[in-house]
Structure 1
Amino acid sequence: MKTSRRLGLIMILTGAALWGLSGPMIQWLFEHTGLTSGNFLVVRLLIAGLTILCFLFLSKKDIFSIWKLPKQWMQLIIFAVLGMLGAQYAFIEAIRVSNAVTATLFQFLGPVLITIYVAIQNRKWPSSTKMMAVIVAILGIYFLITNGSIENVMLSKQGIVFGILTMLGFTFYTLHPVSLIKRWGTMVIIGWGMFIGGVVLFIFNRQFSFHQLAKTLTVGTFSMLMLIILSGTASFLLYIGSLKYLSATETSILSSIEPLVAAIISIVWLNESFGLFQLLGGACIIAAVVFLTMPKREKFETKFEKTKQVF
């Protein structure tokens, strides 16, 4: 295995593991503090956004030109508020009212919605493989919510609502900034998206107070808050960095360890318990997303034919 490819694999697996770990860490923080989702997100988005922007600025990257073009910065603000802030808030609330594993699995369903959206946009049915993956994902959601019995719903109404909003938020988060990222780069858009989202939430979250935040946190819980921010930012940077050495398909498939890590950490550390059908539902969702992110069969066959010709 080439050194560059090995480095890419290490980066994506480490990044995915860190993101999977961040969910249980956030759950622990809520269980041990009176911190609200809004207050947590103000701190997380502002610090992470500023960290990325400062890193880019010190690396002599152009981070301000986007503000010279009204159409571009308007799209950026829409992404920051509805995509970055909206998706993050729904995800954090889903953790607060249910648990880290459930929130991570709902987030992981983004590719399923994207597949449906693309099919509607193109007015064309997805391939049989993708249709099967969508059906398996829907079955996984059913098992996750009901544990196999419609009369025994395991999630609260709030958990279901914020789970669905998480799925919708991360779908929008993925689709909306495509043209912005092509022009300005991923890190510039994500950095500004985090910072703007944090500023908007700070302005409209009247309950936020740095003094109150300081009273709420102890040395231990403040350390956990900083660790969550650090691991989340590192996870993103590792994911982006791995794309230099691996294809987007490979990184998408390998990132499927996120909910697995979240589940293991939650069971071992937080003493969470899951029903057999809920675990089956999680496995269905992961399998469905892996199939959806695999290359098209035609491309595989073309590559296979070319390989045969070489030999």
Structure 2
Amino acid sequence: MKRSRQIGLIMIISGATLWGISGPMIQWLFQKTELTSADYLVVRLIAAGIILLSFLFFAKQDIFTIWKHPSQWIQLVIFSVLGMLGAQYAFIETVYISNAVTATLFQFLGPVFIMIWVAVLNKKLPSSMQFIALFAALAGVFYLITNGSVQDIVLSKKAIIFGGLTALGFMFYTLHPAALIKRWGTSIIVGWGMLIGGIVLFLANPGFSFFEMTGSLTVSTFSMLILIIISGTVSFVLYIGSLKYLSAVETSLLSSIEPLVATVLSITWLNESFGVYQLLGGAFIVIAVVFLAVPEKETSVVSENIT
């Protein structure tokens, strides 16, 4: 195995584990405080962005040159707002409305959306394995939402909408920043993406106050907030950085440990309970991503063409 591929595997497995852990941690924070999704994200994105960019600056990396190239910073702003902020807000709101496992599973539908996008972009029908994956994903979503009973839908309409937006956001921040990362590096793009996304959300949320928010936190909840910011930042850097060494679909496949980690923690730590059919739905979604990786050679070529 090439060393570059080993690095990619380590990055995505570590990043997926951290992201799987962060979901239940965020859910715990919402249960123990009165923070809204917007309040939490303003702090998380701005703090993480400043920390990461400051580290790069003191490490003598040029973090400002990208702003001298209009075509590049325009793409950076698009990624920051639609990718970084859009995906995280949809994910966090899904956690807030439902739970961490549901949000993680909806996010995991992202590879299916990538498959559909690639098929449309190349004007080519998906392979037989990809059709199986699509069917498994649809079955998974059905069971996740209904728990096997159409008359008694488990998830609210709002949770379903934000869950869908989470999957779309996953697709966007997987595909869009690839060219930017190749030119400027993972850390710079993620750092600016977080800072810009946080500033945009802060401006869109004029009632937010750092002092009021921090004043409402206890030692334990503030410590958890700091821990989430650190783990979330590292997970994003590792996930997006792995795209240098692995294809988008390979990365999506290897991130399959996210829902497993989130589910185990939610059940053992947060005492969450899930219906049998909901767990079955989660398994179908993971199986869908596994099937997506079967036509590996074809998928990797397509991913290179996109980026």
TM (normalized to structure 1)?
Answer: 0.89
What is the rounded CA distance, in whole Å, between the counterparts of 2:101 and 2:245 in structure 1?
29
Q: Helix, strand or coil for the counterpart of 1:272?
A: coil
What is the rounded CA distance, in whole Å, between the counterparts of 2:206 and 2:267 in structure 1?
36
Matching of residue 136 in structure 1 with residue 133 in structure 2: no
What is the rounded CA distance, in whole Å, between the counterparts of 2:299 and 2:171 in structure 1?
25
CA pair 11-62 structure 1, distance change in 2 beyond 3 A: same
Q: How does 1:42-57 map to 2 (within 5 A)?
A: 42-57=42-57
What is the rounded CA distance, in whole Å, between the counterparts of 1:156 and 1:220 in structure 2?
31
Letter in structure 2 aligned against 1:199: I
Counterpart residue number, 1:70: 70
Letter in structure 2 aligned against 1:126: P
CA pair 84-297 structure 1, distance change in 2 beyond 3 A: closer
Output one character per residue of 1:184-208: Cα deviation in whole Å (capped at 9) or x when no partner. Answer: 2222111111010011111221121
What is the rounded CA distance, in whole Å, between the counterparts of 2:231 and 2:255 in structure 1?
15
Counterpart residue number, 1:181: 181
Counterpart residue number, 2:161: 161
Counterpart residue number, 2:279: 279
Counterpart residue number, 1:216: 216
CA pair 294-62 structure 1, distance change in 2 beyond 3 A: farther
What is the rounded CA distance, in whole Å, between the counterparts of 1:298 and 1:197 in structure 2?
34
Q: How does 1:95-106 map to 2 (within 5 A)?
A: 95-106=95-106
Q: Is the contact made by 1:249 and 1:294 (CA closer than 8 Å) also made in structure 2?
A: no
CA pair 189-274 structure 1, distance change in 2 beyond 3 A: same
Task: Give how far 1:249 is off.
Answer: 5.9
Counterpart residue number, 2:304: none
Q: How does 1:207-286 map to 2 (within 5 A)?
A: 207-239=207-239, 251-286=251-286
What is the rounded CA distance, in whole Å, between the counterparts of 2:50 and 2:199 in structure 1?
11
CA pair 176-247 structure 1, distance change in 2 beyond 3 A: closer
What is the rounded CA distance, in whole Å, between the counterparts of 1:15 and 1:283 in structure 2?
21
Letter in structure 2 aligned against 1:117: W
What is the rounded CA distance, in whole Å, between the counterparts of 1:17 and 1:74 in structure 2?
32
Task: Give how far 1:293 is off.
Answer: 3.0
What is the rounded CA distance, in whole Å, between the counterparts of 1:237 and 1:297 in structure 2?
26
Q: How does 1:111-126 map to 2 (within 5 A)?
A: 111-126=111-126
Stretches of structure 2 that go unaligned for 5 or more consecutive residues are 301-307
Letter in structure 2 aligned against 1:45: L
CA pair 180-241 structure 1, distance change in 2 beyond 3 A: closer
Q: Helix, strand or coil for the counterpart of 1:154?
A: coil
Stretches of structure 1 that go unaligned for 5 or more consecutive residues are 301-311
What is the rounded CA distance, in whole Å, between the counterparts of 2:83 and 2:298 in structure 1?
33
What is the rounded CA distance, in whole Å, between the counterparts of 2:82 and 2:243 in structure 1?
26
Q: Helix, strand or coil for the counterpart of 1:61?
A: coil
Counterpart residue number, 1:204: 204
Output one character per residue of 1:157-182: Cα deviation in whole Å (capped at 9) or x when no partner. Answer: 11111101111122122222232222
Number of residue-to-residue matches in the alignment: 300
Letter in structure 2 aligned against 1:177: P
Q: Is the contact made by 2:136 and 2:288 (CA closer than 8 Å) also made in structure 1?
A: yes
Task: Give how far 1:62 is off.
Answer: 2.1
Output one character per residue of 1:247-297: Cα deviation in whole Å (capped at 9) or x when no partner. Answer: 766544332110000001001111111111110110010111122134536
Letter in structure 2 aligned against 1:280: L
What is the rounded CA distance, in whole Å, between the counterparts of 2:249 and 2:161 in structure 1?
30
Letter in structure 1 aligned against 2:276: L
CA pair 150-105 structure 1, distance change in 2 beyond 3 A: same
Q: Helix, strand or coil for the counterpart of 1:38?
A: helix
TM (normalized to structure 2)?
Answer: 0.90
Q: Which moved more, 1:5-14 or 1:265-274?
A: 5-14
What is the rounded CA distance, in whole Å, between the counterparts of 2:95 and 2:55 in structure 1?
30
Q: Is the contact made by 2:253 and 2:290 (CA closer than 8 Å) also made in structure 1?
A: yes
Counterpart residue number, 1:27: 27
Q: Helix, strand or coil for the counterpart of 1:182?
A: helix
Counterpart residue number, 2:170: 170
Q: Which moved more, 1:171-180 or 1:78-87?
A: 171-180
Task: Give how far 1:11 is off.
Answer: 4.7
Task: Give how far 1:13 is off.
Answer: 3.1
Task: Give how far 1:53 is off.
Answer: 1.4
Output one character per residue of 1:210-246: Cα deviation in whole Å (capped at 9) or x when no partner. Answer: 1211222111100010011111122234445667887
Letter in structure 1 aligned against 2:85: L
Q: Is the contact made by 2:249 and 2:299 (CA closer than 8 Å) also made in structure 1?
A: no
Counterpart residue number, 1:81: 81
What is the rounded CA distance, in whole Å, between the counterparts of 2:70 and 2:3 in structure 1?
43
Counterpart residue number, 1:309: none
Letter in structure 1 aligned against 2:41: L
